[in-house]
């Protein structure tokens, strides 16, 4: 999940994710705060980050490749996408 420290919706999504029990044990959730220092390497490795215009922004990586990405929050939306991609 991409967010910013000042983003209220990002903080709410973080709280929801903290209380969520995934049905996909192989899933790892990471939060990247775009307004924190030290993200230069990440932004260089992932130039698509410059195109992100809404937060929170979710990205599903499978084997290091982007499989799906979308704006917004909600564990039901996340579960639906995981079911379509992972099964």
> Per residue, what are the HEC states of the chain?
CEECCCCHHHHHHHHHHHCCCCCCCCCCCCCEECCCCCCHHHHHHCHHHHHCCCCCEEEEEECCEEEEEEECCCHHHHHHHHHHHCC
Instruction: List the CATH number of the domain containing 79.
Output: 3.40.30
Q: Provide the domain count of the chain.
A: 1
Average pLDDT over residues 42-68: 92
Q: What is the pLDDT of residues 18-47, one digit of tens each?
A: 999 988 888 899 999 999 998 888 889 899
Is it the case that residue 87 has pLDDT exceeding 80? no
Residue range(s) defining the domain that contains residue 54: 2-85
């Amino acid at each position: 999940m991409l967010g910013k420290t000042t983003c209220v919706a990002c903080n709410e999504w973080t709280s929801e994710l903290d209380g969520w029990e995934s049905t996909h044990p192989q899933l790892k959730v990471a939060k990247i705060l775009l307004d924190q220092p030290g993200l230069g390497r990440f932004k260089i490795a992932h130039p698509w980050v410059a195109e992100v215009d809404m937060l929170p922004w979710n990205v599903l990586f499978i084997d290091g490749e982007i499989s799906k990405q979308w704006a917004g929050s909600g564990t039901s939306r996340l579960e639906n996408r995981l079911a379509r991609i992972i099964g």
